[in-house]
Structure 1
Amino acid sequence: MGANAIAERSFGYIDPHFPIPHGENDTSIIIYGYTPSIAVAAFAAAWFFLHLIIHTVQNITTRSWWWMTFSVGLVFEIIGYIARSLSAKQNPYNLIYFVLNYFFIVTAPVFLAAGIYTILSALIPRLGSRYSFLSPKVILAFFITSDVISTVVQIAGAVLVGVKESRQEDPTTANHILLGGLSYQVFAMSIFVILMSTFQFRARHAIKQNGLRLFCLSFSVATIMVYLRTIFRLAETAEGLGGKLSTHEVYFACLEFAPIALVVLLLAIWHPGRCIGARVRTEVPKY
């Protein structure tokens, strides 16, 4: 099936104010389903670059190297939004810009989630093992392994989507692979949200005594925001390219960019390295 046939069957958006360049890497339609906003893309790139500096500087000053996965996620966000800015300003039909935008923005929160998973493992030794249903070792092993699995599957799916689009082939199968990775990530994060919520409820008095109420509140909000964003991406991928969620930028801005922007802000203000320590212990003190 040719690219034009796929486009006509799905969304086939063409910007009347932006003629098709017909270059080697240009598609016959704008795959986004709209022309991306340069204001949103440029602001997002600048926002994540600023917070990359803030987080990385704090990582260095507090020697909290375990939080560097969060900085990796921010680098992915920056690359994705730079590519999106190029789409918005230079050429929204360019397939390379779209693939870079899609790949890096979809996979970036996997690294952000890895850092968030580690926070719970760091809190348990500090507040007490009796409040947690699982040990820090088990939590790290399960959720980091889950992160690796979902990352590999999502990367494979995102790359294949780009390959299929570049060959003017139907990307449905590739989209299903990406959907599988996102589904597993939502499954793992659902378990994590339950563990985090029960732990903080049971440890509420210890949290207060240790002066960690604001940090734990920011940690909770950050977790829910990443969870919300992952659910959005799952729903968007389930619809496929050309669905309502993927062809209206307001959903992208409100459910992709805004939640992650809030996450990086909260965890910059209440930086885990400053609030809970430079090291993640997996051995829990006995009480």
Structure 2
Amino acid sequence: MSSQPPPRGYIDPNFPNPGGPDDASIIIYGYTPSIVVGVLGCVLFFLAGILHGWQLFKYRAWYFSTVMVGIIFEIVGYIFRSLSSQLDPYRVTFFVIQYFFIVVAPVFFAAAIYTILSLLINATGRHYAPIPPKLILWIFISCDVVATVVQILGAALIGVAESNRKDPTTANNILLAGLAFQAFTFLVFIGLFVAFVWSARGVMFKVVRKSFYTSFSIAVVLMYLRVCFRLAETAQGLYGDLNTHEVYFGCLEFAPVVVAVWLLAVWHPGRCVPRARAVIEDI
């Protein structure tokens, strides 16, 4: 008779654990991933990639290339999520790979968002910005890189801990620290964006259409919503409601990022934001 307690966590009664060398004792996701979400992720990001790629070359908006990298990462992540769903949801490598690509992808989208703010500042007038546009890029991209590295480390350690049936609390706290830092820095960025809009409110729509500002603002809010979801999910731990129900992942991770990417495709900055600084007479 084994003295080892039964593993805590989700085990799919309809999907027996293959018990392979790379299989955890539980499904780390907290549920068996849906093939529908996996396929939708691949298809929607692929179509968005076609639209972004076409405009990237048409408008020679090379500064927006990071979006294409992010889209490729999303597609790879959802491919492995689909593999988890159909082949083996217990496999740690499938979980870690999909987590890595789905978590890292928004970093490239965020870099594009920081670039857009820099473009808006240059097009409208640098005197409207709280800090120089180049400094915005350096500060926030650097912060995102640090936050993402910490998150990946935490996620990898969670996978190792679960596969070895050890307590994942420390690994989860590392992941939480990375997300908290990312949420804080993105909130600071939103504050800078609001400060710029307030300062340039009298002239900004003479340079860039209101519809672009609206779509861009929605995309920014959606990306921040996604960060807040990840933060709340990690704060609850592996066995919290947010981590054990895929509907939250679908509504607060998958959907916000998809909508944000499509908004940036329909209102592409290569078409909507002039590169050269406009000469505007303040009245």
Q: Same fold (TM over 0.5)?
A: yes
Cα distance in 2 for residues equivalent to 1:174 and 1:258: 27
Identify the match of residue 15 of structure 1 among 12, 15, 18. 12
- Indicate how the Cα distance of structure 1 residues 263 and 174 shifts in structure 2: closer, same or farther if over 3 A, else same: same
Q: Secondary structure at the match of 1:205?
A: coil
Q: Deviations over 1:27-65 (max 9, x none)?
A: 222111111111111111111111122212211222211
The answer to whether the 8 A contact 1:129-1:285 is kept is no
Alignment of 1:224-263 (within 5 A): 224-263=221-260
Q: Is the 8 A contact 2:28 2:159 kept in 1?
A: no
Partner of 1:166: 163
Partner of residue 271, structure 1: 268
> Within 5 A, what are the aligned runs for 1:45-124?
45-124=42-121
- Taking a change above 3 Å as real, the CA distance of residues 160 and 121 of structure 1, as seen in their structure-2 partners, is same
User: What is the total number of aligned residue pairs between the two structures?
Assistant: 278
Higher alpha-carbon deviation: 138-147 or 182-191 = 138-147
Preserved CA contact (<8 Å) 2:25 2:165: no
The alpha carbon displacement at 1:79 in A equals: 1.2
Task: Report the TM-score, using the length of structure 2 for normalisation.
Answer: 0.91
Q: For 1:208-219, what aligned pairs fall within 5 Å after superposition?
A: 208-219=205-216
Identity of aligned residues (%): 53
The counterpart of 1:128, out of the listed 125, 128, 150, is 125
> Match for 2:52: what amino acid?
H
TM-superposed CA distance for 1:286, in Å, is 10
Question: Which 4+ stretches in 1 moved above 6 angstroms?
Answer: 283-287
Higher relative contact order (CA 8 A, sep 6+): 1
Return the offset for 1:270: 0.5
Farther-moved stretch of structure 1 (164-173 vs 114-123): 164-173
Amino acid at match of 2:174: I
Match of 1:183 in 2: 180
Larger displacement relative to structure 2 (37-46 or 130-139): 130-139
Asked if 1 retains the 8 angstrom alpha-carbon contact of 2:150 and 2:175, the reply is yes
When normalised by structure 1's length, the TM-score is: 0.90
Which residue identity lines up with residue 39 of structure 1 in the other structure?
A: V
Q: Deviations over 1:182-211 (max 9, x none)?
A: 111111111111111222233233232224
Number of the residue aligned with 2:151? 154
Residue 124 of structure 1: how far off its partner (Å): 0.5
* Partners of 1:161 and 1:79 in 2: CA distance: 21
The CA RMSD over aligned residues, in Å, is: 2.1
- 1:146 offset after TM fit, Å? 1.2
